[in-house]
Amino acid sequence: MITRLHDPDYARWAAQIRATGGCRQPIHLRGRVDHIDRATGELLHRYTTRTEPGGVLRVPCKTRRASRCPACAEVYRADTYQLIRAGLSGGKGVPETVTGHPCLFVTLTAPSFGVVHARREKNGKVLPCHARRDAATCPHGRVMSCTKRHGTEDACLGEPLCGDCYDYAGSVLFNALASQLWRYFTDALRRRVAKLGGLTLRELRERLTIAFAKVAEYQRRGVVHFHAVIRLDGPDGPASPPPAWATADALADAVRHAASAVSVPVPAVANEPARVLRWGAQLDIRPITMGGELTEQAVAGYIAKYATKAAECVGTLDRRISPLDDLDALPLREHARRLIAECFRLGTLDNLADLRLTQWAHMLGFRGHFSTRSRHYSTTLGDIRADRETFVREEEISTGRLPLFDEDTVLVVAEWEYAGKGLAPGDALLAAALTGVPLADPGGPR
Ligand SMILES: [Zn+2]
Ligand SMILES: [Zn+2]
Ligand SMILES: [Zn+2]
């Protein structure tokens, strides 16, 4: 810290750090940008990192994951919020008439893989976890009952009453196939909506489109479930209204039907029986209405928050784990350790090779995208980022930090190379003080 503070380049270093917005693990780039006159070949302007502190430019890591970099994840969260909100209430190129389209917030859950400790509430009162008067004893000698009223932070939440009875294989297979189940669900939903309108799928496409925005959330028991905005539009997307028969009630009916209709078969392998994976019985369907019980701000906030999270609440690690690692030596929760071990076990089976369970063991089998939108949902994250970059560039030009050249006559040649990542411990302290982003996330994984 002292060396950095006394460095003659300190002011420029601090400016770079401020420009990263408090990124905890900035990427270091070495290189240059030349502006060349197309007609004469004359070099009009050159930016080079040679004169920067340490000879590098520090840029934000742009991760979406709050556990890795809270500052960059916050940018991702805010962008996702704007994108989801535009699809619900208009803006960013989406007309405000979209608020009149039928729109639901749907939660699709995983089925049960065994009894787990849970906090249950009814009318604001906490109920016993799993109280059974004549509880059976499992083959491992454990009584299948828990009369505790668990607090929100109890470490046992999501852990099985008996780990030896728990269907670990089912749990990781569900995660591995959840994205496929989601695809089948959207196909079934289109077919059902077409049927309700008395149309073929081809005819449906000419009159109606179904827009989706979904996010995956890990439950503490280690399975993903999906939250999704599902909206009905006319044939041209959010700018056109859906036909009158396509109401929110009709959509809810179709969602219920599609969720119960789809399944993914898993063939019998080694000691595992053949299975058919389906959504859990718990299906939540709520209309999104302006100023109603579930508002568009609430939904956008909810989806954006989960878009920056991964499996950390389950107590796994935020990085790849190799089958050669000693699982007992890693800081994992016991339940997560068993889920990871199960991924490694099933990952060796030829028939399941496509699921790549070994590579995705740290994600407990899930390898899908956390947050996805259908093409016409609203704007894209790319467009939102491009708008921000244009804004920053124009600001730099107007304040004289970047030269203003006519784009048609000037050739921009950029050469960049990766030169490292992160901050030295002293630099990290200074960066936290400069940007107001706390050094470590106190609510990180156990
Ligand atoms: Zn970052
Ligand atoms: Zn319990
Ligand atoms: Zn048992």
pLDDT digits (tens, 9 = 90+) for 265-297: 998 887 888 999 999 999 999 999 877 788 889
pLDDT surpasses 50 at 444: no
* Mean pLDDT value across residues 43-48: 89
Ligand nearest to the backbone CA of 60: 1
* Mean pLDDT value across residues 38-51: 90
- What's the pLDDT tens digit per position in 340-386? 999 999 999 988 999 999 999 999 999 988 889 998 899 888 888 88
Q: How far is the CA of 444 from the centre of ligand 2 (A)?
A: 23
Q: How far is the CA of 429 from the centre of ligand 1 (A)?
A: 15
Q: How far is the CA of 103 from the centre of ligand 1 (A)?
A: 34
For 23-27, 280-284, 399-403, which range has the lowest pLDDT when averaged over its residues? 399-403
Token digits of residue 328: 């007992």
Q: How far is the CA of 139 from the centre of ligand 3 (A)?
A: 5
Q: How far is the CA of 256 from the centre of ligand 3 (A)?
A: 34
Q: How far is the CA of 237 from the centre of ligand 3 (A)?
A: 52
Among candidates 164, 97, 317, which has minimal Cα distance to 327?
317
The residues placing their C-beta within 5 Å of ligand 2, an ion, are 117, 129, 146, 148
Q: How far is the CA of 150 from the centre of ligand 2 (A)?
A: 7
C-alpha 421/C-alpha 152 separation (Å) is 37
Distances (CA, A) of 49 to 43, 220, 424: 17, 46, 19
pTM of the entire structure?
Answer: 0.87
C-alpha R_g of the chain = 26
C-alpha 384/C-alpha 80 separation (Å) is 9
Residue pair 68/25 in contact (Cβ under 8 Å)? The answer is yes
Q: How far is the CA of 73 from the centre of ligand 1 (A)?
A: 7
Residue pair 231/239 in contact (Cβ under 8 Å)? The answer is no
Residue pair 196/250 in contact (Cβ under 8 Å)? The answer is yes
Q: How far is the CA of 116 from the centre of ligand 2 (A)?
A: 7
Band (pLDDT 50/70/90 cuts) for residue 188 is: very high
**Helix or strand or coil: residue 199?**
coil
Ligand nearest to the backbone CA of 136: 3
Q: What is the pLDDT of residue 401?
A: 66
Ligand nearest to the backbone CA of 20: 1
CA 382 to chain centre: 16
Token digits of residue 100: 């009149």
Q: How far is the CA of 155 from the centre of ligand 1 (A)?
A: 29
The residues placing their C-beta within 5 Å of ligand 3, an ion, are 138, 140, 162, 164-165
Band (pLDDT 50/70/90 cuts) for residue 442 is: very low
